[in-house]
Structure 1
Amino acid sequence: MEGERNLARDVKEWQPAVQMAAIDCADEANTMTCFRFGIKGYPTLKFFHAYSKKGSKGENLKGSTHDTRDLRRQIINMMETHQESWPPACPPLEPASKAEIDNLFETSSVGYLALVFEKANSYLGREVTLDLLQYENITVRRVLDTEEGLVSKLVVTEFPSCYLYRPGGNFSKLSVLIEARSFYSYALQRLPGVIRTGKSLTLMTDLHKNTTQQQWRPFNRSRVYMADLESALHYSLRVELAAHPVISGDNLSSLKRYISVLAKYFPGRPMVKNLLQSVNAWLTERGDSELLYSSLQDMLDNTGQIPDAVLPEGVKWVGCQGTQPHFRGFPCSMWTLFHVLTVQAIKTPGAQPLQVLQALRAYVHSFFGCRACASHFETMAREDMNRVSGLSTAALWLWYRHNRVNNRLAGDLSEDPAFPKIQWPPPELCPRCHTVKRNGDHSWNQEEVLKFLKEYFSSERLLQDYLEDEAEALRQQREKLEARREQEAQPRPDGKEEGGAPAEEAREGGEGEGEEEEEEEQGENMAELQPAREAEPRRPRAVIVGLKPARPVEEIVDLDSFVNTHYKAKALKAAALAGRLQRRSLQRKDEPELQPVQPERPQSRHRLEDERGPRHKGWVSLLNVGFSSLDVSLLVLLYCVSGLCLLAMYLYFRLRVRLRRAKVALS
């Protein structure tokens, strides 16, 4: 299957002239289909010509399925044996003549014309022609060395070689590192104005028109920016993790691995590293089976005020910015972060080969927002990640898989026209990374690739441009925490306390008894109480929760006036229920009951009474401490029990004294 996958990746750009499909003949559900096409064993490759009839069984491709070059050439041979009219989706593959080329300029307004000069037995020109099939504004034709007219006109002396006719100019030789297919295809696809079919032409000069709703930031494509790495941390920790209010099980283990790797290998600024290390220590000390994200968010916001520790909020893409808001950004920055971590592990003594890769795999599997991307990454990891045996091998493993992803997403809707998905690093960044096999196919020099990765993602080469000043970041964090504390200290506008319960419910914490029985009666009396409530003047309300002292008031009144003034709303509610509540009252009969106040202003140091009756479930105020009737009952009961205990102890000791006196008298 690996050979078929390699072939599919190799000829992906040949669509729609050549399209590949796979069928699993080992699956019983496909038995009849495979039998109908005459498949007796597998792997089997069959070629179907254009306009094939329904009953066609195709033609078998011979040779080893592991030889991609041989299979590629067999496909071209099959295409050229087509007997009917040439399919419009297929480009011309026959050699071009001088007359045809001259006529092409007269009848066509093609932007670029690329001529690949080669010998008759070479497949290079046809392969490059098919590689450019999905691109507009360019035409590729092959010219044999026997076409003396064009050879002499352009003074071609080397075969193969590629000459390019640029608009408004003459033919010039295409400058490439090696005269091979991959170098020709890459150079032609990167020409200005050459775009993939279906993609809009995006000029770099147009990026200054604020197409991303943000000012375009000029950057160096050959360097990595710390702003992208810090933005990746912010988005992964504050956005993607926030989608999981409760983190437990395997997800919690994935989070701990991810934070541990960041704390150990992230080459950030001291304030960012301090925060990551504090979060890692906090997670390590926790033995809980689950974690609330709100708790993690407090640590990320540094509510504990750890000195010089902050992770700047917001994203600021630089090297990962795209021409539109939905291009590049976070996925680009995460790949960059992954590469940086694997390179930093190489330079860290005692690092384990799989530590970084396993942490990244766990994070992507548990938290990465693009679930299809996470599934593809997991598939690649299951293939051979466990075979990684060294730190350098880990960096190369990630690099190779990144290129596989680029190959899969080339031409996808997620591809930014100004930043196409290419095999990285390109020849202009690392010429020594590229070479060719004896058969002419492209090959990577992995030793040179590893050297390039170590240098490109080195912490010493990270650019600090566009970063927010550390002092400014710390100042903003302090201001945010102060504003948060002030907000928490203020009463909530919805009448709820810090715990989330309404203020009225908090005051009635000891009065839950009989609420359900009274709901109907209270509802019937709401119409009667509403006018009185609206007529009341607004006064500051003292909140009494449990046994917490009430807030001090400026006006000096007696205790009864204090209670009546600040709870008159409840008193008015209780007026209609006076008879029933009076029977429930636990106050002593000889003790005067607290009466609700009238709507008029209370008179200082005078007892105010209301003819409507006692307050509903009255409170007793003593030294500015509120007690409910239940509290009073418990106190009375405790007083009685303690009195009985004291009486029992008195009788016991008195009886012992008498017994001792009796014994003395008898002796």
Structure 2
Amino acid sequence: MARFRRCASRRSASPPRSSPQVLVLALSACALLPWGAQAGLYTQSDQVVLLTTSTVDSVLFNSSVAVVVEFYASWCGHCVSFAPLWKSLARDTREWKPAVDLAVIDCADSENWEVCTRFGVRGYPTLKFFHAYSSKESTGVLFQVPMRNLTTLRRHIINMVETYKDSWPPACPPLEPASQVEIDKFFETNSVEHLALVFEKADSYVGREVILDLLQFENIAVRRVLDTEEGLVSRFGVTDFPSCYLYYPDGHFTRLRLQMEGRTFFSYALQRLPGVVRSGKPPPLASDISPNNTEMQWKQFNRTRVYMADLESALHYSLRLELAAHPTISGGALTALKRYISILAKHFPGRRVVRNLLQAADTWLQSQEDPEISYKSLLAVLDNKAGTPEAVLPKGLQWVGCQGSKPHFRRYPCSMWTLFHVITVEALNSSISDAQDILQAFRGYVYYYFGCRECAAHFEHMAKESMNLVKKLSDAILWLWSRHNRVNNRLAGALSEDPHFPKVQWPPPELCPKCHSLELGDHAWNYREVLSFLQEYYSANRILLDYLEPETELLRRQRGHQVIPKENEEVTGDHTARAARDVHEDLEEGQVQEEPPQEDQEEHPGMEDNQELDADQFADPGEGGNDVTPDLPPWKKAAPEEAAARRPSIVGLRPREPREDIVDLDSFVNQHYKAKALRAALISQRARKALPRQHEGGELQDVGLQPMEPDQFSWGEKQRLQKRALTGKYTGLEEEEELDVRSQSIRGPWMSVLSLGFSRLDVSLCMLLYMLSSLCLLAMYHYFQLRVRHRRGKVALP
């Protein structure tokens, strides 16, 4: 009989002070809880049925499903200790729900006291089994096993299911051993694609557990065959027990070769056979992931790697879209936001410009002393309105590893989980934050800002259970991983599950064989290997940069939409503001003409969109061009200097006050050639318009014009003249250009050769230097002449 213990409820030594802020937080916590989730030690996210006085009869009586009920009292210490085991059993038997389900009822609730008394419950916790189609007079069958082990409870449930004496429940498959005659005639009465035969010994539960695990899947049937069935054993050549064989209508069979022979490995492999789908869901089609529209284009990617595009998309969505739902941020929400941004600024392993932006946002947030901030002010920082150099957060969503076969699958939730995993691994490598800083930052953001409120409530429920027990960063990595797997278990088979990306316990055996092991025939995780795998999988060195827009293009676009005030120039020390102002002043004076920017011709790497993706293939991380792992992540290496800003072409030649800017002489000379050719073409065109015209033979002919010599301009100058004529752009002052060209025509040919490539200011400077050098030489000559005369006079003295 189940043991029970009466425990007094513990009271807090120092009750919390009542304040408006505490009241608001309490109301917010209540609002987060899903409907019907306030039943003592359990919630609906624990995958158990929460019984009440009004629902107990409909669930337990005349039902096609067997139910195992735990009667407990929320004040009982033993019930509190047993609750995690019961929750684990519910997750472990989740696929059995059409045949057997788990339920709980809190007898400490005054409304349920009459029900518990009706079923003869005198101690807590008490477990009772109710057969399918039980009558209202039934009080259930008491569990007579120790409630300390998950395997014992699971196997006892199977024993109770097999004790049916009347009609077998329609949803429950046959659990008795199959005979050779049944297997030979199986395909005559069943239309399934696969028949799995689990060969085992009489005392093994593997076959029955696998049968129940596949209960909610179609196109497959599972039968257990004992080692005493010599005909089938000899036909299939079975030597190992347990082992699994696939049998087909044409008579051929094959053994299911797995890393380990056990229930979990058999069930996982059978659920992913071709054509095997969950009941009520159509099989995934390859055409579903490559629609012919512009709304979503499928990107080929490596399922064994993390993509930076997903992480940057997560940042953009969370900081620009989810936070936008909060016009003002204050109180606990502001504190949570500061912690979240601070953790991102410290540990986000992104590109240089993104990290600079996160650090600028963190600095701005930490400097805010007001109890309330507006989202518009934060958005200005995220958009870098202050002009922080080399800082930008890309806009837009670019899902790669987190893309779904349909627009409503995966995407943002997947990217947030990935971001959390990457941050925890980076924190362990850097060792500048503790485990609670990381996890509490995630918890605060999900609690206040995550858009799916039921998801936020589930995460908060998991955090309350055990997050405060995490002390080390390595434990934080494992805690987040185990909770992610719990969410996958809860959502497997739900409408939100992508058929191309089924929610499984991760990592699967084919991705990390060493992470899995068997203990007494049951699956067990090798936590040391899991931690090692997570550190490598989410390491910054393995994050791929495919499908990302180049940093130079991001900065160029940001500068194009950014207005930098003059008063910020001296404070920030940014030379970009001064250069932009100088160019603007030159344009106003008619002396500078900016060159049009060239379009970026770089394309994003990636495979063709119409290539078919095999949903069941996992690429080897050591193969493929995308899997070359550098010593350091690309964004942590010394970034190349950004291409120098395009200098303006100088057309006007009026002297200006000297500036500290460094001028590119090569660019200056090239632009001077263009200016000379443009002047000659402009004067020739003006001369044509000034000369009289005569009409001869119905055609207009120019009179008094001499044909232009073919060698007057070089081929490059002719091409530049044609481009200028097409654009219709003319620069410089027309009067000065006419005088300059006329003066050139007066000069001799030698003067033209000497002045080729030099402006009048350059020639004047050269002449001035020539005169100064001549005067210097003349002074040196007179000095030495006087010196010689003086020495001759001394020698002539007696």
TM-score by length of 2: 0.59
Q: CA deviation at 1:66?
A: 2.7
Which residue is equivalent to 2:307?
225
User: Are residues 162 and 314 of structure 1, via their aligned partners in 2, closer, same or farther at CA, if it must alter by over 3 Å?
Assistant: same
Which residue is equivalent to 1:77?
159
Q: CA deviation at 1:412?
A: 1.4
Structure 2 distance, partners of 1:297, 1:320, is: 26
Which residue is equivalent to 1:497?
none
User: Are residues 167 and 399 of structure 1, via their aligned partners in 2, closer, same or farther at CA, if it must alter by over 3 Å?
Assistant: farther
**Aligned ranges for residues 344-363 of structure 1 at < 5 Å?**
344-363=426-445
| 1:130 matches 2:177 | no
Structure 2 distance, partners of 1:187, 1:314, is: 38
| 1:270 matches 2:358 | no
> Where in structure 1 do 4 or more consecutive aligned residues deviate above 6 Å?
none
User: Which of 329, 340, 355 is the equivalent residue of 1:247?
Assistant: 329
User: Which of 228, 233, 241 is the equivalent residue of 1:151?
Assistant: 233
Kept in 2: contact 1:4–1:66 (CA 8 A): no
User: Which of 470, 474, 477 is the equivalent residue of 2:551?
Assistant: 470
Amino acid at match of 1:477: Q
| 1:37 matches 2:106 | no
**Aligned ranges for residues 517-666 of structure 1 at < 5 Å?**
none
Kept in 2: contact 1:310–1:473 (CA 8 A): yes
- Higher mean alpha-carbon deviation, 444-453 vs 304-313, is at 304-313
Amino acid at match of 1:415: E
Q: CA deviation at 1:78?
A: 1.1
Which residue is equivalent to 1:201?
283
User: Are residues 35 and 275 of structure 1, via their aligned partners in 2, closer, same or farther at CA, if it must alter by over 3 Å?
Assistant: same
Q: CA deviation at 1:167?
A: 7.0
Which residue is equivalent to 1:57?
139
SS at match of 2:505: coil
Q: Deviations over 1:291-340 (max 9, x none)?
A: 10011111111111111111111111111111111111100000000000
Q: Deviations over 1:116-155 (max 9, x none)?
A: 0000111110000000001111101100111111111111
| 1:107 matches 2:204 | no
| 1:399 matches 2:475 | no
Amino acid at match of 1:343: V
Which residue is equivalent to 2:266?
184
Which residue is equivalent to 2:174?
92
SS at match of 1:2: helix
User: Which of 470, 475, 497 is the equivalent residue of 1:388?
Assistant: 470
Amino acid at match of 1:460: N
Structure 1 distance, partners of 2:436, 2:110, is: 38
Structure 1 distance, partners of 2:428, 2:294, is: 37
Q: CA deviation at 1:206?
A: 3.9
**Aligned ranges for residues 133-532 of structure 1 at < 5 Å?**
133-165=215-247, 170-204=252-286, 206-210=288-292, 213-437=295-519, 439-481=520-562
SS at match of 1:126: helix
Structure 1 distance, partners of 2:517, 2:287, is: 34
Amino acid at match of 1:473: L
Structure 1 distance, partners of 2:293, 2:176, is: 44
User: Are residues 275 and 483 of structure 1, via their aligned partners in 2, closer, same or farther at CA, if it must alter by over 3 Å?
Assistant: closer
Q: CA deviation at 1:351?
A: 2.3
TM-score by length of 1: 0.71
Which residue is equivalent to 1:5?
87
User: Are residues 483 and 37 of structure 1, via their aligned partners in 2, closer, same or farther at CA, if it must alter by over 3 Å?
Assistant: farther
Amino acid at match of 2:276: V
SS at match of 2:379: helix
Kept in 2: contact 1:212–1:325 (CA 8 A): no
Which residue is equivalent to 2:611?
none
Q: CA deviation at 1:8?
A: 0.8
Q: CA deviation at 1:249?
A: 0.4
User: Are residues 144 and 446 of structure 1, via their aligned partners in 2, closer, same or farther at CA, if it must alter by over 3 Å?
Assistant: same
| 1:119 matches 2:201 | yes
Q: CA deviation at 1:4?
A: 1.0
Q: CA deviation at 1:203?
A: 3.0
Structure 1 distance, partners of 2:287, 2:246, is: 25
Amino acid at match of 2:173: P
Q: Deviations over 1:546-600 (max 9, x none)?
A: xxxxxxxxxxxxxxxxxxxxxxxxxxxxxxxxxxxxxxxxxxxxxxxxxxxxxxx
Kept in 2: contact 1:210–1:216 (CA 8 A): no
RMSD (Å) for aligned C-alpha atoms = 1.6
Structure 2 distance, partners of 1:482, 1:168, is: 74
Q: CA deviation at 1:384?
A: 1.4
Amino acid at match of 1:30: N
Structure 1 distance, partners of 2:187, 2:544, is: 47
Structure 1 distance, partners of 2:158, 2:376, is: 60
Structure 2 distance, partners of 1:119, 1:220, is: 41
Structure 2 distance, partners of 1:20, 1:389, is: 33
SS at match of 2:290: helix
SS at match of 2:111: helix
Kept in 2: contact 1:410–1:421 (CA 8 A): yes
Q: CA deviation at 1:169?
A: 7.3
SS at match of 2:319: helix
Q: Deviations over 1:258-315 (max 9, x none)?
A: 0000000000000100100000001111111111001111111111111111111111
Q: CA deviation at 1:205?
A: 5.3
Which residue is equivalent to 2:574?
none
SS at match of 1:400: helix
Structure 1 distance, partners of 2:386, 2:546, is: 30
Q: CA deviation at 1:248?
A: 0.4
- Higher mean alpha-carbon deviation, 66-75 vs 152-161, is at 66-75
Structure 1 distance, partners of 2:287, 2:248, is: 21
Structure 1 distance, partners of 2:293, 2:86, is: 41
Q: Deviations over 1:170-221 (max 9, x none)?
A: 2111111111100111111111211111222113454123589311011111
* Paired positions, count: 483
- Higher mean alpha-carbon deviation, 168-177 vs 205-214, is at 205-214
Kept in 2: contact 1:114–1:140 (CA 8 A): yes
- Higher mean alpha-carbon deviation, 15-24 vs 210-219, is at 210-219
SS at match of 1:311: coil
SS at match of 2:106: coil
Kept in 1: contact 2:196–2:220 (CA 8 A): yes
Which residue is equivalent to 2:579?
none
Q: CA deviation at 1:166?
A: 5.1
SS at match of 1:481: coil
Q: CA deviation at 1:401?
A: 1.0
Structure 1 distance, partners of 2:184, 2:563, is: 76
Q: Deviations over 1:23-47 (max 9, x none)?
A: 1112121100111111111111111
Q: Deviations over 1:332-361 (max 9, x none)?
A: 000000000000000113321211111001
Consecutive unaligned residues of structure 1, counting only runs of 5 or more, are 485-667
Structure 2 distance, partners of 1:134, 1:372, is: 25
SS at match of 1:321: coil
Kept in 1: contact 2:422–2:539 (CA 8 A): yes
